[in-house]
């Protein structure tokens, strides 16, 4: 696949990395996909080689809704990557997808680290970020076979108690 430029950085997925290549190709079709274990049926992210729950190696892609809840977050004040310096301070969120919540144990879920952005792909303001707020995926198209999944806030009522720093 081509090298993709994103905020002045080169995003490179090697040709032999079929896991991420297919993940980003699906994203370019605006589909969020997870690896689903063929043995136990549980999904996982990132798309690792073996199932973290039962260690089976067989799997298939499963499309998910791209809807979820902010499970945790941080605010980046000092950006290490030069490409993000003009974004700071900006949020990085841990999204728990609606699928597979509380499985296989009550403390588990399908969670992704992601940017939280507006539709114009600028970072969400710190005062709008909180644990429990609802989000959905949106896709930033960067090449003919590559898009980055990002997340954005929705108007849905929050899940349970909303909590934010100070
Ligand atoms: Zn499994």
CA of 52 to the centre of ligand 1 (A): 7
CA of 83 to the centre of ligand 1 (A): 37
Rounded-to-integer distance, Cα 32 and Cα 132, Å: 21
CA of 55 to the centre of ligand 1 (A): 6
CA of 94 to the centre of ligand 1 (A): 23
20 upstream amide cis, omega within 30 of 0? no
The reported pLDDT for the residue numbered 126 is 94
CA of 112 to the centre of ligand 1 (A): 19
**In this structure, is the dihedral angle defined by the CA atoms of residues 48, 53, 58 and 59, taken in order, positive or negative?**
negative
| Secondary structure (3-state) at 64 | strand
pLDDT tens-digit readout, 53-93: 999 999 999 999 999 999 999 999 999 888 899 999 999 99
CA of 80 to the centre of ligand 1 (A): 36
Q: What is the pTM of this model?
A: 0.92
CA of 70 to the centre of ligand 1 (A): 25
pLDDT tens-digit readout, 33-55: 999 999 999 999 998 889 999 99
Rounded to an integer, the average pLDDT of 95-100 is 97
H helix or E strand, kind and range, residue 137: strand 134-143
């Amino acid at each position: 696949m081509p090298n993709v430029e994103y905020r002045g950085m080169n995003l490179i997925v090697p040709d032999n990395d079929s896991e991420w290549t297919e993940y980003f190709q699906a994203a370019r079709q605006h589909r969020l996909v997870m690896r689903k274990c063929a043995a136990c049926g549980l999904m996982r992210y990132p798309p690792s080689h073996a199932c973290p729950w039962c260690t089976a190696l067989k799997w298939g892609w499963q499309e998910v809704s791209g809807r979820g809840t902010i499970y945790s977050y941080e605010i980046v004040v000092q950006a290490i990557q030069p490409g993000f310096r003009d974004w700071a301070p900006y949020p990085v969120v841990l999204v728990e997808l609606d699928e597979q919540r509380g499985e296989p144990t009550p403390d588990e879920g399908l969670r992704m680290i992601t940017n939280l952005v507006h539709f114009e792909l600028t970072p969400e303001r710190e005062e709008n970020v909180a644990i429990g707020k609802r989000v959905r995926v949106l896709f930033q198209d960067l090449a003919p076979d590559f898009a980055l999944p990002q997340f954005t806030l929705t108007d849905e009522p929050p899940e349970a108690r909303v909590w934010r720093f100070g």
